[in-house]
Structure 1
């Protein structure tokens, strides 16, 4: 299931279109993560869902909340955000 814009709990996002060649696809990289960019937040949530093999709306909203409220300010890249979310998910599963 894809997590969509209408599934997001927050309403603080900006929705700028990505310049050609910078669309959010593939694996997270070293690109700077902007927690207010709705397209980038959706990309991370959906990529994480693909990585774990499933994603419910509730799980997606939990990821959204984690990124908004608990993401350490020292984590700057998409890859860093993904790895941090994975650690949170594994910790919660224990």
Structure 2
């Protein structure tokens, strides 16, 4: 599933940076959780590997990025790794 700006639940994002710079895999580029284009880039990169990422998990991920992202997760690579761990953990604790 590919997510767009209108799929996001939160409204705090800054959209001033051109989205086209966010292509390819996550890099060591500094991550800004207020940059909507960068958030979408990482979410869509994750979605390309996990087809189970749906709207509900997207909104959970937004909340986690906004409220729980550790300070030491500064690069896209480290944020992507953290996101993956959070979503895997949420799958294990979700009721069946």
- Normalised to the residue count of structure 1, the TM-score between the two structures is 0.88
2:66 matched to 1:68?
yes
Distance 2:64 2:47 in 1: 14
How far apart, CA to CA, are the structure 1 residues paired with 2:8 and 2:90?
21
| Equivalent residue, structure 1, for 2:87 | 89
Tell me the CA shift for residue 32 of structure 1.
0.3
**SS of 2:48 mapped into structure 1:** helix
Asked whether the 8 Å contact 1:30–1:77 carries over to 2, the reply is yes
Secondary structure at 1:32 match in 2: coil
Q: 2:18: which partner in 1? A: 18
Tell me, which stretches of 5 or more residues in structure 2 are unaligned? none
- The alignment partner of 1:51 has SS state of coil
Q: What is the aligned-residue RMSD (CA, Å)?
A: 1.6
Q: What is residue 38 of structure 2 aligned with on the other side?
A: 40
Q: What are the ranges of 5 or more consecutive residues in structure 1 without an aligned counterpart?
A: none
Q: Normalised by the size of structure 2, how large is the TM-score?
A: 0.86
Alignment match, 1:56: 54
The number of residue pairs the alignment matches comes to 92
In 1: Cα distance, 2:24 partner to 2:59 partner:
22
Q: 2:29 maps to what in 1?
A: 31
